[in-house]
Every structure is written in structure tokens, then in C-alpha cells.
Chain A
Amino acid sequence: MSDHALVRLEGVTKGFVKGQESIAIFKALDLAIPTGDFVAVMGPSGSGKTTLLNLLGGIDHVDAGAITVAGQRIDGLSENALARYRAANVGFVFQFYNLMPMLTAAQNVELPLLLTPLKKAQRRTHVETALAVVGLADRAKHYPREMSGGQQQRVAIARAIVSDPKILLCDEPTGDLDRATADEILGVLQTLNRELGKTIVMVTHDPAAARYAKRTLHLDKGQFFEKDLAA
């Protein structure tokens, strides 16, 4: 794999303690994701898919090993440094959207921009652009409760991309949606990857969803089994 990988995991070990025993999720896991990749991560429940995403997003910590994103070691960073890392580099998309119910679509999308020095007018432009990318320019003033699940997820995607992060981390983004809506969302992600060159890591249990990615990694018993869909 390329040395210019955007994301690199080296010897990552992660476990959790349950009662007396500690259970390992990963042992000495290695992974490299180049810029512009769209990776689907599949695997049985409990295999550590979400934990992988959390580690990449800097909201969980490794027990051992190194994680490098965009040339920066993120394991061992302080909480504040991690928050800055996330604000600058990471966009999260969750299964249940996690929009703030009391904010409009535009306000939700604007949230990450509050972490940047952008002026109000600049922020508005960014928000409009992001909403346009996901096809929701006309819904800017709507509240989450006034939108369908698919629309809410699109707002969430707009929120994830508005600050132009280097990597999008999607945790079961279509897990709560019907087939047709799921396809729309996946289409949006694919467009982001192909036309805007966004690097995307998507956890899913849906093989149909995984087909939108460039490649699929199967995570099982703490190891990857790569399966190239093109092949």
C-alpha cells in the first residue's frame, strides 16, 4: 500500500474489560486508506466495526499501536487536541442522524463552522453550498421533525462535509432507512467520493450498501479480509 495513505493504522490493539476478564477486539491491526478511497467495513455484530470508526474519529483510544491521519499521530493526543483534530479533519454521519431537534436544517449544518474563524456571511455561504450538494437547498429552514428520515440523514451528511474535512466516517448511515431512501443516501455519498474526492469510511451490515464503495473490508475476529467488489 501507498506510503501516502491518508489513514494508517499500525499494530493497533484494542480491548474492553468486562468484569474480571478483558476481551480483545483488535490485536495488532494494520490498515492503510489512501486519499480518495471509499471503504465499506462489514462484519458480524461485535466484530469491532464501530470501534474502528471511533478510533479513526478520535473519540476512543487505542490500547497500543499507532494511528496516523493526514500525517498526524492521533493516538495519545489530549482531549482538547482531539477535539481540534475532529473539527479540522473528520466528518461524522450516524445511523440515527443525531441532529439537534431544536435547530433548523441550516443551523444544524452550521454547527461545525462555529469551530472555525469564518465570519457569519461566509458560514452562510458554506451552509448553502453543503445543503445544495445533498439536494436540500429548499429545506434550510425546516426542523428535523418536519423532515423524513432520508432528508434528515442528508442534513447530517451536509453537516459532516460543511467544514470540508479530510475524511467522512459513516456508521450504518442507511441502517434506519428503507431501500429506496438508502439508495439515495448512498448515491449522495458516492457522488461526494467520485466528484469531490472525499475519503469515506462506512460501516454497514448491508451488502447492497457496501456495493457503492470502492472496496469492502470484512472485519472478523479482529482481522481484515479484503474483498474487492470490482473483482
Chain B
Amino acid sequence: MRPFLLQVAAVTLINLKSIPQRFWLSLSTVVAVALVVMVLLTFLAMSYGFQKTLSGTGAADVAIALRGGAAAEINSAVTRDQVRLIEEGPGIDRGADGRPLTSAELYLVVDGVKRSTGTKANLPLRGVGRDGANVRKGITIQAGRMFAPGSNEVVVGKSLASEFAGFDLGQTVKLGTSQWTVVGVFTADGGVFESEIWADAPAVQSLFKRENYFQTVRARLESPAALASLKQYVESDPRLKLDVKTEQDFYAEQSGQTTDLIQKLGWPLAIAMAFGALAGALNTMYSSVAARAVEIATLRAIGFGGTPAFIGTLVESLLLSVIGGIIGAVATWLIFDGFTTSTLGASFTQVVFSFHLSPALVLQGVGLALVVGLVGGLFPAIRAARQPIVAGLAG
């Protein structure tokens, strides 16, 4: 066994040491694989970042009530009477003053301008109840202060303020027919709320002529398990034709379609490109075998077996593609990790999200590179092992 391993090691070393002789060809394989991995990882990072933003929104112990059948807040409507009935429901946590922790909210779409492109963008304006920030966890005013009830003041999510023009602290912005002052910037654990404008619900209702209805009611539950009792309460009251679910589930459902679309675009593209890179890898490795024909034949004449030649060729191919894969992953990380952009979400408003490259995604990318290297090296390696010695010596 030892001589065999030594043989393999020696032939592999000879192989690897000969790479500089085919520098440009080998480099082209490395770059090709790197580009394939970059394309794949960019798409996956985009999809994952979007998903992370949505799944980071909402908690399991916050219930959201929407009109039956409405999949998005913008399509929902809840009347004042229904809000009151929900507030009387079971399982809802209470604030320090003993009142149920709920927030009846309006959800309107207003026009904004995207900084990067200067184009119009749909932005969500959320009118929240007095407990709007308390119902949710993780809402923190980062700069300025909370809006004063009854005033035309707004606080804006951190992402929204950075992606869209005109929402800097202290600025006055025209939403609808009225002027609003930005008095604070808030964070929400990186969730969707950071892409929103928040104002006092009664103020929004009166300035947008929506006096009598809301879009949703949020309620902080005593525990995630309390959802069942609230749900049962809503279902048993004919006046409440509402769907109740946890906020967490609500946002998770919304991420599905978009992330699906991005992945369905990313994988086929990357696989198609991988085939192109595979052709390149095969070419490189066949050239490598051809260039080393005399060396391989000489080793065989000395008494080396075919297996070391096979393994050596395969290792060369795998090494080139793994280097490519790592370069691709590092490049994607350097260029795109944390890259912030926005797209239309399920509520027809812009969701700001950052590309995020996780170790699991990097593994998928390097895995694809390995497959290219394995297949690209396999056939040339078989040729290296089977090549007749006499023909090889003839050069």
C-alpha cells in the first residue's frame, strides 16, 4: 500500500507542478468556474437576503387579523367595530395600564423616489395605533423620537431612509395632500418594517379620508399558544369575517413567491453556465493529458501503474475548479454581501433587503465547482490511464 500511495503522490505532484506550463489555459478554467459560482451565489444571496428580511419580520406571539381571503395588507379592510371586538378577545397580553396590547393599522401606498435610480417607487405608509411599537418586539428609535399622537409627524424605517430620497431626519415630506415631518428613524431587527413609514393612525385616517376603516389589527398574545383561543373566538363570531394568524407566518408566506422566482432563475442559469465551464474544464484537462503524454508514458515505462495517472489528472482538475469556486465565493462576498437593494413585495410596496451570503450557500457554490471539476477531470483522467505507452513515448 505504501508504494502505491507514494506513486499517487509523486504523479500528482508532477501533475500539479506542470500546471504553470499550461498557465493561461488553467487560468481560464479557474476564472470560468469562478464566474459560474459567482452567478449562482449572487442569485442565492439575493434570494436568501430577501427571505431573511421577511422571515426576520414578525413574531410568533403577535397575531395579525386581516379580512377573510386577503393575502396582503393592502387588500384587507377591518372596520372600527371589528377592531373593538378583537380587543375584547381572549389570549391578548395587556400593557402596564391594563389595556389590551393591540394596534389597529392603516396600510397605504404612497409615492417615493429611489435614490439610486431616481425613479418612482411605491412606499408603504403605516398608520399605527398608540401601542403600535409596543405590540411588536425589537422596534427601536435609532435617531430622533417617536411621532406625537394626533400630529402629522412620521418616523421612518432605517432602510427606507437610506434607500429613498427625502426622508432624512427633520425633513418635511409631502404624502398625499398633506405635509409630514420626519421626527425619527427606527430599526426593527432588519425586518420589513424598516422599509416603512409610520405615523399616528388617526392622523392618517383623517388626512387620507379613511375615517372608518383600517387594514389590519395586530395583537400581542400572552404566548404563541394563545393564538388558538383567539382564532376560535374570531371564528365563532359572525361579525368577524377575519383571518387570524401569527405575524411570523404572515410574512413567511409572503417571502415564498419571490424567493422561489429568484431561485428558479438562478439555478438553471448557473447550471447552464456550469455546462459551458465544463466544456472548458474538459478542454483544459484533455490538453493537460496531451501535454503530459510523454511524461505519463515514461512513468508507465518505468513501471508506474495507470491508476496514479488517473488520480493525478483528477486531482489537478479538482484543484483548479475548487480554486475557481473559492475565488468565485470570495468575489461574491466582497462585491455583493450586504449589497442593499429593493423590489416590489407582496403588498405592492418596496421591500428593502440586503444580499446575504451564508456558509451554506458558499458550500452549494463550491459544491457546483467540485462537480464541474470532477466531471471535467474524469474523462481526461480515464484517457491518461488508458493511453497506450508506445503511442505516448512517440509523443
A residues adjacent to B (C-beta < 8 A)? 54, 57, 59-60, 79-80, 83-88, 90, 92, 94, 96, 98, 100-103, 111-112, 114-117, 159
Contacts and interface: CB of A to CB of B under 8 A. Distances in A.
A60 B390 contact: yes
Interface residues of B, number: 25
Contacts of A115: 3, 7, 302-304
B165 interface: no
A64 to B, nearest CB: 18
Given A100-B14, A114-B7, A90 B390 contact: no
Contacts of B17: 102-103
A112 B393 contact: no
B295 interface: yes
B393 A98 contact: yes
Contact of B301 (A92, A96, A102, A103): A92
A98 B299 CA distance: 9
Given A59-B389, A98-B297, A117-B3, 19 more contacts: A79-B305, A83-B304, A83-B306, A86-B300, A90-B301, A92-B298, A96-B294, A96-B395, A98-B294, A98-B393, A100-B14, A100-B298, A101-B18, A103-B17, A111-B304, A114-B3, A115-B3, A116-B3, A159-B302
Given A98-B294, A114-B7, A88 B303 contact: yes
Contacts of B300: 59, 83, 86
B303 A59 contact: no
Contacts of A60: 389-390
B85 interface: no
Nearest to A118: B3
Contacts of A85: 303
A92 B302 contact: yes
A54 B390 contact: yes
A14 B390 CA distance: 14
Contacts of A88: 303
B236 to A, nearest CB: 81
A83 B300 CA distance: 7
B3 A111 contact: no
B2 interface: yes
A138 B316 CA distance: 33
Contact of B302 (A103, A112, A117): A112
Interface string B284-302: 0000000000110111111
Contact of B18 (A57, A87, A102, A159): A102
B248 to A, nearest CB: 59
Contacts of B299: 111
Contacts of A103: 14, 17
B298 A86 contact: no
Contacts of B3: 114-117
B269 interface: no
A147 B139 CA distance: 75
Contact of B306 (A79, A86, A100, A111): A79
A198 to B, nearest CB: 16
Contacts of B225: none
A162 B145 CA distance: 86
A114 B300 CA distance: 13
Contact of A86 (B7, B303, B390): B303
Contacts of B304: 83, 87, 111, 114-115
